[in-house]
Chain A
Amino acid sequence: MSSLIILAEEFVPPGPQDFELPAIALGVTKPMVQLVLAAIIVFAVFYLAARKRAVVPGRLQFAGEQGYNFVRNSMSRDIIGAHDFMKFTPYLFALFFFILVNNVFATIPFFEFPTFSRAGMVYGLAAMSWVIYNAVGIKKHGFLGYLKLQSVPSGVKGPILALLIPLEFLSNILVRPVTLALRLFANMLAGHLLLILFALGGEYLIVEMGGAYAAVGILSWVMFIAIAFLELLVQFLQAYVFVLLNAMYIQGALADEH
Protein backbone atom coordinates (compact mmCIF):
# COMPACT_ATOMS: atom_id res chain seq x y z
CA MET A 1 0.00 0.00 0.00
CA SER A 2 2.62 2.52 1.07
CA SER A 3 4.91 1.50 -1.79
CA LEU A 4 2.16 2.34 -4.25
CA ILE A 5 1.76 5.82 -2.80
CA ILE A 6 5.49 6.42 -3.12
CA LEU A 7 5.24 5.23 -6.70
CA ALA A 8 2.58 7.84 -7.40
CA GLU A 9 4.76 10.62 -6.00
CA GLU A 10 7.76 9.58 -8.04
CA PHE A 11 8.63 10.92 -11.44
CA VAL A 12 6.04 10.05 -14.03
CA PRO A 13 7.76 9.70 -17.42
CA PRO A 14 5.97 11.24 -20.37
CA GLY A 15 4.02 8.83 -22.48
CA PRO A 16 1.21 8.56 -24.98
CA GLN A 17 -1.13 10.26 -22.55
CA ASP A 18 0.76 13.51 -23.14
CA PHE A 19 -0.42 13.47 -26.72
CA GLU A 20 -4.07 13.06 -25.81
CA LEU A 21 -4.81 16.75 -25.38
CA PRO A 22 -8.16 17.74 -24.01
CA ALA A 23 -10.62 19.37 -26.37
CA ILE A 24 -10.55 23.16 -26.36
CA ALA A 25 -14.23 23.35 -27.18
CA LEU A 26 -16.81 21.19 -28.94
CA GLY A 27 -14.37 18.33 -29.34
CA VAL A 28 -11.87 20.48 -31.20
CA THR A 29 -8.34 19.78 -30.00
CA LYS A 30 -5.12 21.76 -30.32
CA PRO A 31 -3.67 19.68 -33.18
CA MET A 32 -6.89 20.18 -35.11
CA VAL A 33 -6.61 23.94 -34.72
CA GLN A 34 -2.96 23.77 -35.77
CA LEU A 35 -3.83 21.71 -38.81
CA VAL A 36 -6.31 24.30 -40.03
CA LEU A 37 -4.00 27.16 -39.10
CA ALA A 38 -1.12 25.61 -41.02
CA ALA A 39 -3.25 25.40 -44.15
CA ILE A 40 -4.28 29.04 -43.73
CA ILE A 41 -0.70 30.17 -43.15
CA VAL A 42 0.67 28.29 -46.15
CA PHE A 43 -2.02 29.59 -48.43
CA ALA A 44 -1.89 33.18 -47.14
CA VAL A 45 1.87 33.50 -47.34
CA PHE A 46 2.19 32.10 -50.83
CA TYR A 47 -0.93 33.84 -52.08
CA LEU A 48 0.46 37.20 -50.96
CA ALA A 49 3.86 36.34 -52.40
CA ALA A 50 2.49 35.27 -55.76
CA ARG A 51 -0.28 37.85 -56.06
CA LYS A 52 1.69 40.57 -57.85
CA ARG A 53 3.12 38.23 -60.50
CA ALA A 54 5.86 40.78 -61.03
CA VAL A 55 8.52 40.17 -63.63
CA VAL A 56 11.01 41.76 -61.26
CA PRO A 57 10.01 40.27 -57.91
CA GLY A 58 9.90 42.11 -54.62
CA ARG A 59 11.27 40.65 -51.43
CA LEU A 60 8.18 38.66 -50.50
CA GLN A 61 7.62 37.38 -53.99
CA PHE A 62 11.25 36.40 -54.24
CA ALA A 63 11.04 34.44 -50.99
CA GLY A 64 7.83 32.79 -52.15
CA GLU A 65 9.39 31.88 -55.46
CA GLN A 66 12.40 30.39 -53.71
CA GLY A 67 10.10 28.19 -51.63
CA TYR A 68 8.00 27.24 -54.63
CA ASN A 69 11.08 26.60 -56.76
CA PHE A 70 12.55 24.34 -54.14
CA VAL A 71 9.65 21.92 -54.48
CA ARG A 72 8.99 22.56 -58.15
CA ASN A 73 12.54 22.09 -59.41
CA SER A 74 14.54 20.05 -56.96
CA MET A 75 11.77 17.60 -56.16
CA SER A 76 8.99 17.62 -58.68
CA ARG A 77 10.90 18.28 -61.90
CA ASP A 78 14.11 16.45 -61.08
CA ILE A 79 12.31 13.29 -59.99
CA ILE A 80 9.14 13.11 -62.05
CA GLY A 81 10.77 14.52 -65.17
CA ALA A 82 10.16 17.57 -67.30
CA HIS A 83 7.26 15.99 -69.17
CA ASP A 84 4.73 15.30 -66.42
CA PHE A 85 5.89 17.24 -63.41
CA MET A 86 3.60 20.28 -63.70
CA LYS A 87 0.57 18.05 -63.10
CA PHE A 88 1.92 17.09 -59.69
CA THR A 89 3.76 20.22 -58.66
CA PRO A 90 0.76 21.89 -56.94
CA TYR A 91 0.15 18.73 -54.92
CA LEU A 92 3.79 18.28 -53.88
CA PHE A 93 4.18 21.99 -53.21
CA ALA A 94 1.10 22.20 -50.99
CA LEU A 95 2.02 18.96 -49.24
CA PHE A 96 5.59 20.00 -48.44
CA PHE A 97 4.77 23.33 -46.89
CA PHE A 98 1.68 21.97 -45.15
CA ILE A 99 3.75 19.28 -43.43
CA LEU A 100 6.63 21.66 -42.78
CA VAL A 101 4.47 24.26 -41.03
CA ASN A 102 2.68 21.60 -39.01
CA ASN A 103 6.03 20.15 -37.95
CA VAL A 104 7.50 23.52 -37.08
CA PHE A 105 4.53 24.14 -34.79
CA ALA A 106 6.35 21.79 -32.43
CA THR A 107 8.99 24.48 -31.90
CA ILE A 108 6.96 27.69 -32.19
CA PRO A 109 6.12 29.11 -28.73
CA PHE A 110 2.50 28.73 -27.58
CA PHE A 111 1.92 25.95 -30.08
CA GLU A 112 4.75 23.61 -29.13
CA PHE A 113 3.00 20.54 -30.34
CA PRO A 114 3.74 18.62 -33.53
CA THR A 115 0.45 18.15 -35.34
CA PHE A 116 1.67 14.98 -36.96
CA SER A 117 2.42 13.27 -33.68
CA ARG A 118 -1.27 12.48 -33.98
CA ALA A 119 -1.38 9.25 -35.95
CA GLY A 120 -4.75 9.98 -37.51
CA MET A 121 -3.50 13.17 -39.20
CA VAL A 122 -0.62 11.29 -40.81
CA TYR A 123 -2.74 8.31 -41.81
CA GLY A 124 -4.94 10.64 -43.80
CA LEU A 125 -2.01 12.08 -45.76
CA ALA A 126 -0.36 8.68 -46.26
CA ALA A 127 -3.62 7.17 -47.52
CA MET A 128 -4.00 10.10 -49.90
CA SER A 129 -0.45 9.58 -51.19
CA TRP A 130 -1.18 5.89 -51.68
CA VAL A 131 -4.35 6.59 -53.63
CA ILE A 132 -2.64 9.21 -55.78
CA TYR A 133 0.38 7.27 -56.94
CA ASN A 134 -1.61 4.11 -57.53
CA ALA A 135 -4.30 6.01 -59.40
CA VAL A 136 -1.67 7.72 -61.54
CA GLY A 137 -0.13 4.33 -62.38
CA ILE A 138 -3.46 2.63 -63.11
CA LYS A 139 -4.53 5.52 -65.28
CA LYS A 140 -1.39 5.30 -67.34
CA HIS A 141 -0.82 1.53 -67.58
CA GLY A 142 -4.27 0.06 -66.89
CA PHE A 143 -4.98 -1.99 -63.77
CA LEU A 144 -3.18 -5.18 -64.80
CA GLY A 145 -0.40 -3.31 -66.56
CA TYR A 146 0.19 -1.30 -63.41
CA LEU A 147 0.17 -4.39 -61.19
CA LYS A 148 2.70 -5.94 -63.53
CA LEU A 149 4.84 -2.82 -63.49
CA GLN A 150 4.93 -2.70 -59.71
CA SER A 151 5.15 -6.44 -59.03
CA VAL A 152 7.19 -8.04 -61.80
CA PRO A 153 10.79 -6.88 -61.82
CA SER A 154 12.14 -6.67 -65.32
CA GLY A 155 15.13 -8.76 -66.32
CA VAL A 156 14.21 -11.60 -63.94
CA LYS A 157 13.12 -14.97 -65.31
CA GLY A 158 12.24 -18.42 -64.07
CA PRO A 159 11.09 -19.68 -60.66
CA ILE A 160 12.74 -16.81 -58.80
CA LEU A 161 9.78 -14.77 -59.96
CA ALA A 162 7.54 -16.77 -57.67
CA LEU A 163 9.55 -15.37 -54.81
CA LEU A 164 10.02 -11.86 -56.12
CA ILE A 165 6.50 -11.04 -57.25
CA PRO A 166 4.90 -11.24 -53.80
CA LEU A 167 7.82 -9.36 -52.33
CA GLU A 168 7.65 -6.58 -54.88
CA PHE A 169 3.90 -6.34 -54.54
CA LEU A 170 4.25 -6.15 -50.79
CA SER A 171 6.93 -3.49 -50.80
CA ASN A 172 5.55 -1.34 -53.61
CA ILE A 173 1.83 -1.52 -52.92
CA LEU A 174 1.21 -2.50 -49.32
CA VAL A 175 4.19 -1.37 -47.25
CA ARG A 176 4.75 2.07 -48.77
CA PRO A 177 1.82 3.90 -47.17
CA VAL A 178 2.61 2.29 -43.82
CA THR A 179 6.26 3.35 -43.82
CA LEU A 180 5.30 6.76 -45.16
CA ALA A 181 2.90 7.30 -42.27
CA LEU A 182 5.00 5.74 -39.54
CA ARG A 183 8.17 7.60 -40.49
CA LEU A 184 6.57 11.00 -40.14
CA PHE A 185 4.36 10.16 -37.19
CA ALA A 186 7.01 8.32 -35.16
CA ASN A 187 9.65 10.99 -35.73
CA MET A 188 7.32 13.73 -34.58
CA LEU A 189 6.06 11.74 -31.60
CA ALA A 190 9.52 10.62 -30.50
CA GLY A 191 11.05 14.06 -30.89
CA HIS A 192 8.35 15.69 -28.84
CA LEU A 193 8.50 12.92 -26.27
CA LEU A 194 12.21 13.46 -25.91
CA LEU A 195 11.70 17.18 -25.39
CA ILE A 196 9.04 16.61 -22.74
CA LEU A 197 11.29 14.07 -21.03
CA PHE A 198 14.23 16.45 -20.79
CA ALA A 199 12.05 19.36 -19.74
CA LEU A 200 10.04 17.52 -17.08
CA GLY A 201 12.99 15.41 -15.98
CA GLY A 202 15.12 18.50 -15.51
CA GLU A 203 12.34 20.20 -13.60
CA TYR A 204 11.85 17.15 -11.38
CA LEU A 205 15.57 16.90 -10.66
CA ILE A 206 15.87 20.55 -9.75
CA VAL A 207 12.61 21.10 -7.90
CA GLU A 208 11.91 17.72 -6.26
CA MET A 209 15.37 16.28 -5.74
CA GLY A 210 17.62 19.33 -5.39
CA GLY A 211 21.27 19.26 -4.31
CA ALA A 212 23.65 17.49 -6.65
CA TYR A 213 20.73 16.31 -8.73
CA ALA A 214 19.95 19.91 -9.61
CA ALA A 215 23.19 20.10 -11.60
CA VAL A 216 22.09 17.09 -13.62
CA GLY A 217 18.73 18.80 -13.98
CA ILE A 218 20.41 21.83 -15.55
CA LEU A 219 22.34 19.54 -17.86
CA SER A 220 19.01 18.03 -18.79
CA TRP A 221 17.68 21.47 -19.74
CA VAL A 222 20.78 22.14 -21.83
CA MET A 223 20.04 18.89 -23.60
CA PHE A 224 16.47 20.07 -24.04
CA ILE A 225 17.70 23.14 -25.94
CA ALA A 226 20.15 21.13 -28.03
CA ILE A 227 17.48 18.62 -28.96
CA ALA A 228 15.05 21.40 -29.78
CA PHE A 229 17.49 22.56 -32.46
CA LEU A 230 17.96 19.01 -33.66
CA GLU A 231 14.19 18.77 -33.88
CA LEU A 232 14.11 21.77 -36.22
CA LEU A 233 16.27 19.80 -38.60
CA VAL A 234 14.13 16.70 -38.19
CA GLN A 235 10.97 18.71 -38.84
CA PHE A 236 12.34 19.92 -42.14
CA LEU A 237 13.80 16.56 -43.09
CA GLN A 238 10.58 14.67 -42.40
CA ALA A 239 8.55 17.06 -44.54
CA TYR A 240 11.22 16.77 -47.25
CA VAL A 241 11.36 12.98 -47.14
CA PHE A 242 7.58 12.63 -47.16
CA VAL A 243 7.25 14.75 -50.28
CA LEU A 244 10.35 13.31 -51.92
CA LEU A 245 8.97 9.80 -51.52
CA ASN A 246 5.62 10.94 -52.88
CA ALA A 247 7.41 12.27 -55.96
CA MET A 248 9.41 9.06 -56.33
CA TYR A 249 6.32 6.87 -56.00
CA ILE A 250 4.55 8.92 -58.64
CA GLN A 251 7.58 8.71 -60.90
CA GLY A 252 7.74 4.96 -60.37
CA ALA A 253 4.06 4.61 -61.23
CA LEU A 254 4.57 6.66 -64.39
CA ALA A 255 7.72 4.86 -65.47
CA ASP A 256 7.53 2.70 -68.56
CA GLU A 257 9.92 0.05 -67.28
CA HIS A 258 11.99 -0.37 -64.20
Chain B
Amino acid sequence: MHTLTTALVVQAEEETLNPLVPHTVEIVLSLIVFGILFFAVRKFVVPAFEQAYAERTAAIEGGIAAAESKQAEADARLAELEAQLADARHEAARIREEAREQGAAIIAEMREQAQTEATRIVENGKTQIEAERQQAVTSLRAEVGALATGLAGRIVGESLEDEARQSRVVERFLADLETGTPGVN
Protein backbone atom coordinates (compact mmCIF):
# COMPACT_ATOMS: atom_id res chain seq x y z
CA MET B 1 0.00 0.00 0.00
CA HIS B 2 2.86 2.30 0.90
CA THR B 3 4.63 1.57 -2.40
CA LEU B 4 1.47 2.31 -4.24
CA THR B 5 1.22 5.71 -2.62
CA THR B 6 4.81 6.51 -3.55
CA ALA B 7 4.18 5.49 -7.12
CA LEU B 8 1.09 7.59 -7.25
CA VAL B 9 2.86 10.55 -5.73
CA VAL B 10 5.66 10.23 -8.31
CA GLN B 11 3.04 9.94 -11.01
CA ALA B 12 1.25 13.02 -9.74
CA GLU B 13 4.46 15.03 -9.47
CA GLU B 14 5.39 14.17 -13.03
CA GLU B 15 2.10 15.48 -14.22
CA THR B 16 2.36 18.77 -12.38
CA LEU B 17 6.06 19.33 -13.06
CA ASN B 18 6.64 21.41 -16.15
CA PRO B 19 10.30 22.25 -16.70
CA LEU B 20 9.29 25.27 -18.78
CA VAL B 21 7.67 26.93 -15.80
CA PRO B 22 10.36 28.97 -14.09
CA HIS B 23 10.92 29.77 -10.46
CA THR B 24 10.77 33.51 -10.08
CA VAL B 25 13.72 33.47 -7.70
CA GLU B 26 15.89 31.91 -10.40
CA ILE B 27 15.03 34.61 -12.91
CA VAL B 28 15.86 37.33 -10.42
CA LEU B 29 18.99 35.60 -9.21
CA SER B 30 20.41 35.03 -12.69
CA LEU B 31 19.83 38.67 -13.57
CA ILE B 32 21.44 39.91 -10.37
CA VAL B 33 24.43 37.59 -10.56
CA PHE B 34 25.07 38.27 -14.21
CA GLY B 35 24.54 41.99 -13.66
CA ILE B 36 27.20 42.03 -10.95
CA LEU B 37 29.54 39.99 -13.13
CA PHE B 38 28.95 42.32 -16.05
CA PHE B 39 29.73 45.48 -14.09
CA ALA B 40 32.79 43.91 -12.46
CA VAL B 41 34.10 42.72 -15.81
CA ARG B 42 33.41 46.07 -17.42
CA LYS B 43 35.15 47.95 -14.65
CA PHE B 44 38.14 45.73 -13.90
CA VAL B 45 38.79 43.22 -16.66
CA VAL B 46 38.03 44.76 -20.04
CA PRO B 47 39.86 48.07 -19.40
CA ALA B 48 42.90 46.13 -18.19
CA PHE B 49 43.01 44.02 -21.34
CA GLU B 50 42.40 47.02 -23.55
CA GLN B 51 45.11 48.98 -21.77
CA ALA B 52 47.54 46.11 -22.25
CA TYR B 53 46.63 46.05 -25.95
CA ALA B 54 47.06 49.78 -26.27
CA GLU B 55 50.41 49.68 -24.52
CA ARG B 56 51.51 46.78 -26.67
CA THR B 57 50.48 48.62 -29.82
CA ALA B 58 52.28 51.73 -28.62
CA ALA B 59 55.38 49.73 -27.74
CA ILE B 60 55.47 48.01 -31.11
CA GLU B 61 54.77 51.20 -33.01
CA GLY B 62 57.31 53.06 -30.87
CA GLY B 63 59.88 50.37 -31.58
CA ILE B 64 59.18 50.62 -35.28
CA ALA B 65 59.38 54.41 -35.16
CA ALA B 66 62.67 54.27 -33.25
CA ALA B 67 64.08 51.80 -35.74
CA GLU B 68 62.94 53.99 -38.59
CA SER B 69 64.54 57.10 -37.10
CA LYS B 70 67.77 55.15 -36.49
CA GLN B 71 67.68 53.95 -40.06
CA ALA B 72 67.09 57.46 -41.35
CA GLU B 73 69.93 58.74 -39.18
CA ALA B 74 72.24 56.07 -40.51
CA ASP B 75 71.18 56.85 -44.07
CA ALA B 76 71.83 60.54 -43.55
CA ARG B 77 75.19 59.78 -42.05
CA LEU B 78 76.09 57.50 -44.93
CA ALA B 79 75.05 60.13 -47.45
CA GLU B 80 77.09 62.70 -45.58
CA LEU B 81 80.15 60.48 -45.58
CA GLU B 82 79.71 59.69 -49.24
CA ALA B 83 79.42 63.38 -49.99
CA GLN B 84 82.58 64.00 -47.99
CA LEU B 85 84.33 61.23 -49.84
CA ALA B 86 83.23 62.63 -53.18
CA ASP B 87 84.41 66.07 -52.08
CA ALA B 88 87.76 64.66 -51.06
CA ARG B 89 88.09 62.84 -54.38
CA HIS B 90 87.17 65.98 -56.21
CA GLU B 91 89.63 67.99 -54.17
CA ALA B 92 92.38 65.48 -54.85
CA ALA B 93 91.68 65.55 -58.57
CA ARG B 94 91.69 69.33 -58.51
CA ILE B 95 94.99 69.42 -56.66
CA ARG B 96 96.49 66.93 -59.05
CA GLU B 97 95.32 68.93 -62.01
CA GLU B 98 96.65 72.08 -60.46
CA ALA B 99 100.00 70.46 -59.81
CA ARG B 100 100.14 69.24 -63.35
CA GLU B 101 99.37 72.70 -64.65
CA GLN B 102 101.90 74.25 -62.32
CA GLY B 103 104.52 71.71 -63.37
CA ALA B 104 103.81 72.42 -67.00
CA ALA B 105 104.00 76.15 -66.35
CA ILE B 106 107.28 75.74 -64.48
CA ILE B 107 108.73 73.63 -67.27
CA ALA B 108 107.61 76.15 -69.85
CA GLU B 109 109.08 78.97 -67.81
CA MET B 110 112.35 77.13 -67.37
CA ARG B 111 112.44 76.36 -71.02
CA GLU B 112 111.85 79.97 -71.82
CA GLN B 113 114.51 81.05 -69.36
CA ALA B 114 116.97 78.57 -70.82
CA GLN B 115 116.10 79.74 -74.27
CA THR B 116 116.65 83.33 -73.26
CA GLU B 117 119.91 82.43 -71.57
CA ALA B 118 121.05 80.51 -74.60
CA THR B 119 120.10 83.34 -76.87
CA ARG B 120 121.97 85.70 -74.61
CA ILE B 121 125.06 83.50 -74.53
CA VAL B 122 124.94 83.09 -78.29
CA GLU B 123 124.48 86.82 -78.65
CA ASN B 124 127.43 87.45 -76.34
CA GLY B 125 129.55 85.01 -78.24
CA LYS B 126 128.60 86.60 -81.51
CA THR B 127 129.43 90.06 -80.20
CA GLN B 128 132.74 88.82 -78.82
CA ILE B 129 133.57 87.03 -82.00
CA GLU B 130 132.62 90.11 -83.96
CA ALA B 131 134.78 92.24 -81.69
CA GLU B 132 137.72 89.82 -81.98
CA ARG B 133 137.22 89.60 -85.72
CA GLN B 134 137.17 93.32 -85.90
CA GLN B 135 140.31 93.42 -83.80
CA ALA B 136 141.88 90.74 -85.95
CA VAL B 137 140.85 92.56 -89.09
CA THR B 138 142.31 95.73 -87.76
CA SER B 139 145.59 94.10 -86.74
CA LEU B 140 145.62 92.04 -89.96
CA ARG B 141 145.08 95.11 -91.98
CA ALA B 142 148.09 96.72 -90.35
CA GLU B 143 150.22 93.57 -90.68
CA VAL B 144 149.07 92.85 -94.20
CA GLY B 145 150.10 96.43 -95.07
CA ALA B 146 153.48 95.92 -93.54
CA LEU B 147 153.83 92.45 -95.08
CA ALA B 148 152.69 93.68 -98.43
CA THR B 149 155.11 96.52 -98.16
CA GLY B 150 157.92 94.09 -97.14
CA LEU B 151 157.01 91.64 -99.88
CA ALA B 152 156.75 94.36 -102.42
CA GLY B 153 160.17 95.70 -101.28
CA ARG B 154 161.68 92.23 -101.71
CA ILE B 155 159.98 91.63 -105.00
CA VAL B 156 161.21 94.92 -106.17
CA GLY B 157 164.73 94.11 -104.74
CA GLU B 158 164.99 90.76 -106.50
CA SER B 159 164.91 90.27 -110.20
CA LEU B 160 161.59 89.33 -111.37
CA GLU B 161 162.77 87.76 -114.58
CA ASP B 162 161.75 84.21 -114.37
CA GLU B 163 159.04 82.35 -112.81
CA ALA B 164 161.39 80.22 -110.64
CA ARG B 165 162.79 83.22 -109.13
CA GLN B 166 159.41 84.58 -108.48
CA SER B 167 158.30 81.47 -106.78
CA ARG B 168 161.53 81.24 -104.85
CA VAL B 169 160.94 84.70 -103.55
CA VAL B 170 157.43 83.85 -102.54
CA GLU B 171 158.46 80.62 -100.91
CA ARG B 172 161.16 82.29 -98.99
CA PHE B 173 158.77 84.87 -97.90
CA LEU B 174 156.40 82.32 -96.71
CA ALA B 175 159.14 80.40 -94.95
CA ASP B 176 160.17 83.56 -93.27
CA LEU B 177 156.63 83.99 -92.21
CA GLU B 178 156.53 80.47 -90.81
CA THR B 179 159.80 80.64 -88.96
CA GLY B 180 158.86 84.02 -87.72
CA THR B 181 162.07 85.45 -89.01
CA PRO B 182 161.16 88.78 -90.10
CA GLY B 183 163.19 88.77 -93.18
CA VAL B 184 161.77 92.07 -94.22
CA ASN B 185 160.92 93.71 -91.02
Show the binding face of A for B, using Cβ within 8 Å.
1, 4-5, 7-9, 12, 15-17, 19-20, 27, 31-32, 35-36, 39, 42-43, 46-47, 50-51, 53-55, 57, 61, 64-65, 68, 72, 86, 89-91, 93-95, 98, 117-125, 127-128, 185, 189
- For the complex formed, measure the closest distance between the CB of B92 and the CB atoms of chain A, giving whole angstroms: 53
In B20-35, the 8 Å CB interface with A consists of: 20-31, 33-34
- Known A120-B22, A120-B30; judge A4-B7 contact (CB<8 A): yes
- For the complex formed, measure the closest distance between the CB of B46 and the CB atoms of chain A, giving whole angstroms: 4
- For the complex formed, measure the closest distance between the CB of B61 and the CB atoms of chain A, giving whole angstroms: 12
Tell me if A16 and B55 are in contact (CB < 8 A): no
Report the bound CA distance from A117 to B36 in whole Å.
22
Show the binding face of B for A, using Cβ within 8 Å.
3-4, 6-7, 10, 13-14, 17-31, 33-34, 36-38, 40-42, 44-46, 48-52, 55-56, 59
- Number of residue pairs A-B, CB distance < 8 angstroms: 137
Tell me if B7 and A42 are in contact (CB < 8 A): no
Contacts of A42 in B (CB 8 A): 37, 41
Contacts of A1 in B (CB 8 A): 4
- For the complex formed, measure the closest distance between the CB of B10 and the CB atoms of chain A, giving whole angstroms: 7
Interface centre among B4, B38, B42 (most CB of A within 10 A): B38
- For the complex formed, measure the closest distance between the CB of B19 and the CB atoms of chain A, giving whole angstroms: 5
Contact of B48 among A35, A51, A119 (CB under 8 A): A51
Contacts of B49 in A (CB 8 A): 50, 64-65, 68, 72
